[in-house]
Amino acid sequence: MRYIVTGGAGFIGSHLVDALLARGDEVVCVDNFNDYYAPARKRRNVALALEQPGYTVAQVDFRDGEALERVFATHRPQRVAHLGGMANARFSVDHAPLYVQSNVAGTVNLLELARRYDVECFLLASTSSVYGSSPTPWSETLPADRPLSPYAASKRAAEVHAFTYHHLYGMPTTIVRFFTVYGPRGRPDMTPYLFVDKMVRNEPFTLFNAGENLYRDYTYVDDIIAGVTAALDAAFPFEIINLGNERPVLMQRFVELLEQITNTRARIKSVPTPSTEPPITFADTSKAQRLLGYHPQTNIEQGLEFFWRWYQDEVLNRT
Ligand SMILES: NC(=O)c1ccc[n+]([C@@H]2O[C@H](COP(=O)([O-])OP(=O)(O)OC[C@H]3O[C@@H](n4cnc5c(N)ncnc54)[C@H](O)[C@@H]3O)[C@@H](O)[C@H]2O)c1
């Protein structure tokens, strides 16, 4: 099977690429290697894959429909996993147009080419952020029409466009909503990396509301990939599916765990929780269990250990 994986040089996308190549699929990674965080890190993310047969990197910006069409015309993918885009709710507040261009217009470019090239399965990576501050646990039946940030709004808009393409052209489409993904290759702007980076340098870092009454449903990246590959294989006509861990972690506890694992002390500067942040994220994953046989295997204690090992090898020992 030949896949296009957008964002294939990023954190989650590069893990998906490795999983697809490992089972013998061909993969074209579409990524613009933007400098939202170090492009050198993205180059390292693709290094393993570049040693495998059946892997191609197309350094293309999917906001550019013509360049994207050349990739489709050359490689004729059977399936598309669209994981590329701009993430980070807080950063999006001051960069709303960029989020619309990347996450909405870029997604429509991909949907348009996917239907013209008869792609048999389109998967869109979305986010728990679409649930805003709805009462938890969050199930896929919630309206998700009160996003708290331009990022969340852009992802919801992309989801809605994906439905329209399915409706008009019958394109099999699955939307997967990820809940706070962490693990090796984790993004430098996300809490495990941000906090550990400060802790090993004995530098202070900000924690919303001192971590009190703040919970995140951290989901280990391998569990996310198991859900994504199962969704790609199933090629449903149209589904929206949560991929979370269903075990929200209190942020105070999260920091304590990092202190234990890294054998350091956190120097916390408490700041008020920004309005982009809900107090809790909490996935109802019953639909993923039923449709995909999804059962997360990695608890937060193990997952943070795996992250810490990667951080030591890839960050500490390289700087
Ligand atoms: N990491 C999480 O916790 C999380 C949670 C919910 C949803 N998501 C979603 O999952 C997807 C992957 O997230 P990630 O954490 O791996 O982020 P990431 O930033 O590591 O990966 C995204 C990749 O997309 C590429 N990209 C961005 N704009 C592009 C464009 N216009 N053209 C081509 N490539 C472009 C980037 O260069 C990057 O490599 C994103 O869509 C994100 O919104 C992530």
For residue 167, the model assigns a pLDDT of 98
Q: Relative to the CA of 34, which ligand 1 atom is closest?
A: 37
Section 261-273 average pLDDT: 97
Would you tell me how many other CB atoms lie within 10 Å of the CB of residue 297? 10
Give CA–CA dist 110/88, Å, rounded.
21
Give CA–CA dist 209/219, Å, rounded.
22
Report the phi/psi class of residue 68: left, alpha or beta, with left for phi > 0 and alpha for psi in -120 to 50.
alpha
pLDDT greater than 70 at residue 168: yes
For residue 319, the model assigns a pLDDT of 65
**Side-chain-side CA neighbours of residue 49 (13 Å):** 29
pLDDT tens per residue, range 26-35 = 999 999 999 9
Computed over every residue of the chain, the mean pLDDT equals 97
For residue 95, the model assigns a pLDDT of 98
Q: Which residue has the higher pLDDT, 295 or 316?
A: 295
For residue 317, the model assigns a pLDDT of 86
- Banded model confidence at residue 110, pLDDT cuts 50, 70, 90: very high
In which residue ranges of the chain is CATH 3.90.25.10 found? 191-215+247-282+297-318
Of 6, 12, 154, the one to substitute when testing ligand 1's pocket (max ligand atoms within 8 A of C-beta) is 12
User: Mind giving me the DSSP string for 96-159?
Assistant: HHHHIIIIIIHHHHHHHHHHHTT-SEEEEEEEGGGGTTPPSSB-TTS-----SSHHHHHHHHHH
pLDDT greater than 70 at residue 271: yes
Taking alpha carbons only, the member of 26, 30, 85, 18 closest to residue 59 is: 30
In which residue ranges of the chain is CATH 3.40.50.720 found? 2-182+221-246
Topology of domain 2-182+221-246, CATH: Rossmann fold (3.40.50)
Question: For the chain, what percent of residues have pLDDT higher than 70?
Answer: 100
Question: For the chain, what percent of residues have pLDDT higher than 90?
Answer: 99
Strands (E), the chain: 2-6, 26-31, 55-59, 79-82, 121-127, 173-178, 181-182, 204-208, 215-216, 219-220, 238-243, 249-250, 267-271
Give bridge partners of residue 208 from the DSSP assignment.
Answer: 271
Taking alpha carbons only, the member of 127, 83, 84, 121 closest to residue 233 is: 121
Taking alpha carbons only, the member of 54, 59, 19 closest to residue 39 is: 59
Q: Token pair of 182, please?
A: 């962490």
pLDDT greater than 70 at residue 20: yes
For residue 91, the model assigns a pLDDT of 98
Section 283-305 average pLDDT: 98
Section 135-157 average pLDDT: 98
For residue 318, the model assigns a pLDDT of 81
Section 150-171 average pLDDT: 98
pLDDT tens per residue, range 183-204 = 999 999 999 999 999 999 999 9
The residue to which tokens 């613009």 are assigned: 32
Q: How far is the CA of 84 from the centre of ligand 1 (A)?
A: 4
Q: Which helix (H) or strand (E) holds 303?
A: helix 300-314
Does the CB atom of residue 218 touch ligand 1 within 6 A? no
CATH value of 191-215+247-282+297-318 in 3.20.20.80, 3.90.25.10, 3.30.565.10, 3.40.50.300: 3.90.25.10
Catalytic: 55? no
Give CA–CA dist 123/24, Å, rounded.
19
Give CA–CA dist 137/282, Å, rounded.
5
Give CA–CA dist 215/199, Å, rounded.
21
Q: Relative to the CA of 155, which ligand 1 atom is closest?
A: 43
Nearest CA to ligand 1 atom 37: 33
Section 102-108 average pLDDT: 98
Give CA–CA dist 250/214, Å, rounded.
6
